[in-house]
Every structure is written in structure tokens, then in C-alpha cells.
Amino acid sequence: MMDEILIQALSGLSRGMVLFVVASGLTLIFGTMRIANFAHGSFYMLAAFLTYSVATMVGDRTWGFLAALCLAPPIVAGVGALIEWGLLKRIATRPHQYQLILTYAITLIVADGIKMLWGSDYRTVARPAGLDGAITILDMPFPTYNAMLILVGVLIAVGLHLLLTRTRFGKTIRAAVADGEMIGALGVNVQRLFTGVFALGAGLAGLGGVLAAPVGSVSLGIDSSIIIESFAVIIIGGVGNVMGALIGAVLIGVVHAVGILFVPKLAIAFVFIALCAVLLIRPQGLLGRNT
């Protein structure tokens, strides 16, 4: 039984890692700009479809995936920067609801835009050679690709941590999360910071989309399910906190995976049960500061 729980926890961990990559971008955007970015799921979906196209164009499963890994996140980050610079900036001083609805409108436009460009069929992306098999852990097969996801997730977490603590850009972001009003007074170019953060966040969503593409299917509608879970993750972790997002994502992944062993019928509600439990104990999120 212990083995089973361990293997479940491991698969939950790999599930949590994709969620973390996507949610980390969302939490940075929210923390810095105070925008609940609904379009975040659209960035994820867009990257998944780009991965499909790049992989198909290249032809080879390994090189195709690597090419997508290099191309899709920057493209999506560029789209994000354009949206921030062309649209969000124009309404930056307006009340929150305008930004919220604007990002919601973008989800609609992207959803139909993807349908226009790629059609409505669902697609698959092959896993790179060497990552399509399974390794044996505790006498159970465990997909190599998922093991890779766990590694990549840890690497990205470390990378983001370094970015936020060691670079000027990162330190500015952290300052903005801590106190948004102070930032302008310190002589930081807030406009440029916001565009940069939004692009970074979109790029992370894109990275998540590339990593997720070979896992399941690439289809219309994957934006909607990831965005709600990502929101849950950042509420649980504490808004603006990347490590909080990591803990939140892993928590959701592992609770979900172990939970279905014991109460399978509640599987669809696990996210929200975890959310409510955290809110009851710490309304500001696990690593969030009191507001």
C-alpha cells in the first residue's frame, strides 16, 4: 500500500509541475500588475498548438519537440508583450474590472483564432525519442516523460528563484509585488517593467503549453481547465509568490493523485477542497503576506 501511495504521489508531482510552470507566470503577473489574467490559459493553449505545428513541420519527434521548446515560449511571450503594450497599458489606470474583462475578451478571440488557424480537430504531439518509454520505480513502470517533467519543473523553479533574487529585473519585480506604489517613486520605469513581466508570465504559460503538449491531446478547451486550476494554485500559494505557486501546484497534484486512491468519486472537487481548507486556515495563502 505504501508503494502505491508513493507512486501516486510521484505521478501527482509530475502533474503539479506543469501546473506550477503555468501558475508561476500567472502569479508574477498578478503580484506585479494586480491583474487576474484570464488570457493566461490562452497563452498555454496557443503554445500547445504551436508545438504541434512546429513538430509536424520538423518531422522528427525529438528535434521537433526541441525546436518547439525553443520557439513557442518566445513567440507567446511576444504575443503577451504586444497585448500588454497595445491594450492593457491603455487602461492601466482604470478600475480592475476593465482589465479583467479585457483579458476575458482575449480568451474568446484566441479561442476562435486558433480554431480559424488550426481547425477544430484535436491533435497529438509525439514524445521525444528516449522519453516515450517508462522507467521502473518500486517495481512499477513510470513514464520517462513524466520523470523528465519533474526534473524540468525543479530546474525552472530554481531558475525563477535565481532570476528573482539575483537579477535587477527580478529584484524590481519582487519590490513591485511587495509594494506597487513605492516602485514608481523609486524611479523604476513602471511601463517597461509591466510589459516585461507580462511577457515573462506569458512565456512561462507558453513553456507549460509546450511541456504539456506531448502528455495528452492538443485541443480547443484546454485553456479553460488550466486557468481555473492555476487561479486555485496562486490563491493557495499566496499571490505574487513563485515558491507559493510551487507549493500550491505540488499540493494540488499530490492531493489529487493520492486522493483518488481513497475517495475516487471526489476527484473533481479536490482542487476546491484544498482551496477552501487553505482559505479557512490562511486566507492570504500559504506564503502570502497579510494585506
Partner 1 sequence: MTAQPLPPLQPAAGSAALSMRTKTVIVGGLIIGLYLLPFVLGESYLFLSIDFLIMALFAVSYNLLLGQAGMLSFGHAAYYGLGAYTVAILFNKLAVPVYIGLLASPFIAGAIALAVGWFAVRVTGMYFAMLTLAFGQLLHTVVMGWYGFTGGDDGLPVMPPDWLLPARNYYLFVLTVTLVSLAALRLITLSAFGTALNAIRENRQRAIFVGLGVRNYELGAFVIAGAFAGIAGAMRAPLQQMAFPSLLHWSQSAEPVLMALAGGIYTFAGPIVGAAIFVFTNFVITTYSEYPLLVFGVIVLLVVLYLPGGVAGAVIAAWERLRRRAR
Partner 2 sequence: MKVIQKAYGRRAVTRAMLGAMALGPSMAGAARAQSDIKIGLTTDLTGIAASYTRSTVNGVELGIDEVNAAGGLLGRKVALLVRDSQLKPDLGTTHTRDLITREKVDVLIGPNSSAVGLTVSAVARQYQKPVIMTTPNTPRLPMELFHPHFFTLVPSGLMEARAMAEVMGPKGKKFAFIGGDYEASHQGLKFFKERLAKVNPGAEFITEAWPKLGEPDYTSYITKLASAKPDVLFSYLWGADLVGFIKQAKPYGLFNRTAVGTLLFMDDLKALGQEMPDGIWGQMRAPFFAMPGDTASRFVERYRAKYNDYPADFAIMGYEAVMAYAGAIKDAQSVESAALVKALEAGTFDLLRGRTRFRQLDHQGDVPSFIGKTAAGDKVPFKVLAEVERVPADKIWPSEAEVLEARKAK
Is the Cβ–Cβ distance between 289 and 240 less than 8 Å?
A: no
Decide whether 88 or 271 has the Cβ nearer to partner 2: 271
Q: 10 Å Cβ neighbour count for 13?
A: 21
Largest CA distance in the chain: 59
Q: How many positions of this chain bind partner 2 (CB under 8 A)?
A: 47
Candidates 4, 57, 70, 113: give the one binding partner 1 (CB under 8 A). 113
| Cβ-contact 278, 285 below 8 angstroms | yes
Stretch that binds partner 2, among 68-76, 161-169, 210-218, 231-239 (CB under 8 A): 210-218
Determine the Cα–Cα distance for residues 275 and 34; give it in Å rounded to an integer: 20
Task: Tell me if 56 contacts partner 2 by CB under 8 A.
Answer: no
DSSP H or E segment with residue 95: none
CB of 269 vs partner 1, minimal distance in Å = 5
Three-state DSSP class for residue 1: coil
Q: Kindly give, in sequence order, each residue whose CB lies less than 8 Å from that of residue 256, ignoring residues fewer than 6 positions away.
A: 12, 15, 267, 270, 271
Q: How far is residue 270's CA from residue 51's CA, in Å, rounded to a whole number?
A: 30
Q: Which of 3, 60, 70, 115 binds partner 1 (CB under 8 A)?
A: 115
Instruction: Give the CA angle between residues 116, 38, 234 to the nearest 5°.
Output: 140
Please give the single-letter amino acid code of residue 144.
T
11: partner contacted, choices partner 2, partner 1, none (Cβ within 5-8 A by kind): partner 2
Q: Are residues 52 and 123 in contact, defined by beta-carbon separation less than 8 angstroms?
A: yes
Residue 190 is a binding residue for partner 1 (CB under 8 A): yes
Q: What does the block give as the cell for 18? A: 506543469
- Name the segment binding partner 1 (CB under 8 A); options: 50-58, 107-115, 134-142, 158-166: 107-115
Point out which span in 27-35, 64-72, 83-91, 262-270 binds partner 2 (CB under 8 A).
262-270
Task: Output 191 or 225, the one with its CB closest to partner 2.
Answer: 225
Q: Where along the sequence are the contacts to partner 2 (CB under 8 A)?
A: 4, 7-8, 11-12, 14-15, 18, 112, 115, 119-124, 126, 132-134, 140-146, 212, 214-217, 219-222, 224-226, 256-257, 260-261, 264-265, 267-268
Q: Where along the sequence are the contacts to partner 1 (CB under 8 A)?
A: 30, 33-36, 87, 90-102, 104-109, 111-113, 115-116, 176, 180-181, 183-184, 190, 224, 228, 231-232, 234-235, 239, 265, 268-269, 272, 275-276, 279-280, 283, 291
